[in-house]
Amino acid sequence: MAMVKRSEKVSARVRKEGTMKCIHCKGQMVYKTAPFQINRKGYHLMLDAVPAWVCTQSGEEYFEDAEVDTIQDVLKTLDERTEKLAVAV
């Protein structure tokens, strides 16, 4: 299961220059897209291309606050909607 990681807020200058380093291996981070998936409460969510910082060495992914907030909003909506589909056993 993928975990959503919050990175520090990154300025547009840092994104443009690509100077962010991975906190695990100190590899170079590049800003591109990464997949996100999670199994949760009876459903599977898969997003193919979420903007993220990705380490060129380890592949570690960091999502910025805006993307984390959007993913959490989607999960909250799905949680609320899928409760209606639950069947008592």
Length of the chain, please?
89
Query: Tell me: the pLDDT tens digits for 2-44?
Result: 445 444 445 455 555 557 899 999 999 999 999 999 998 888 9
Query: Tell me: the pLDDT tens digits for 33-83?
Result: 999 999 988 889 999 999 999 999 999 999 999 999 999 999 999 998 888
- d(CA 46, CA 37) in angstroms, rounded, equals 4
- Distances, alpha carbon 73 to alpha carbons 22, 31, 42, in Å: 27, 23, 18
How high is the pLDDT of residue 44? Answer: 92
Beta bridge partners of 72: none
